[in-house]
Amino acid sequence: MTDLSICVPAYNAGRTLATTMRSILDQDIDLELVVLDNASSDETPHIARSFGDPRVRIFRNDSVLPIGDNWNATIWRSTRRLVKVVCADDVLLPGSLAAQLEVMADPAIAISSAKFQVIDAGGAVVESGLGLPGLVGAHPAYAVLRTIVRKGPAEFGPTAAAMFRRAHFDRVGGLRGDLVFPMDVDLFARIASIGQFFGMAGVLAAWRNSTFNLCSQTSTVSKLVELFRFHHRIASEYPQHIGYRDVLAADGRLLRTAAHRANVRARAVTGDLIALAQSGRART
């Protein structure tokens, strides 16, 4: 028996939950699959119960919890030594769990993660081989935290690519839901500070880029503000790993992103005005 809990926090995930759960249960691994329905109003609870697999444990909140609280509640219901969180619209690739469990057999590894692919709303692969910039193989805490700050959480990789130890999750106090966009990588950084990190070169998970996931529904400004607060907070908490230049590099990256976004919007507005003027001239 393996010591693995897969945790799936689900909220109105009826469009994708079956695919997510099937990608987990189809793997030839003994595991515990914990699904916490966050008081969904769609068919999420029906889909979760439809599998009839003894490895599945289903729970439901009486009312909708904030995302951080819901994710923590899902993980707190896990009973095994190793934990992987899979969002209810993401997918694990075949053989991914066996490969990652082999890495986590080394007690010196506090957390491992892997490269990932991006899929569209229908499941077609858009990009692959993404994530873990410069972090393939074994790395100490300072290398992981500096990379996360300098490159940003999105470049590190999605929740479904990582696996960590429940004891370490408890030790760092779980997820901090005040910053939603970098919430998972914030957890990974704090766990990485406890022991060694191992980055796997293989593509083990798929992140779904769709119009209905939380990332797509969050404004660019909100994301940038949260990322700014995130890397400044991590830097203040781990000054032994993250230096002044790392923070400056992160600030510069966010400023460039903001400037690019503003330029794109300005061009779009200009284009709209030109089109409107041309339309007015055509009518006259």
Confidence of residue 273 (pLDDT cuts 50, 70, 90): very low
Per-residue pLDDT tens for 121-141? 999 999 999 999 999 999 999
> What residue segments make up the domains of the chain, in order of their start?
4-245
Q: What's the pLDDT at 212?
A: 60
Gap between the Cα atoms of 225 and 222, Å rounded? 5
Confidence of residue 258 (pLDDT cuts 50, 70, 90): confident
Q: How many CB atoms lie within 10 A of CB 26?
A: 10
The DSSP result for 67-135, as a single string, is HHHHHHHHHHT--SSEEEE--TT-EEPTTHHHHHHHHHTSTTEEEEEEEEEEE-TTS-EEEEEE--TT-
Q: What's the pLDDT at 43?
A: 97
Per-residue pLDDT tens for 131-188? 999 999 999 999 999 999 999 998 999 999 999 999 999 999 999 999 999 999 999 9
Q: What's the pLDDT at 274?
A: 46
* Topology adopted by domain 4-245: Spore Coat Polysaccharide Biosynthesis Protein SpsA; Chain A (3.90.550)
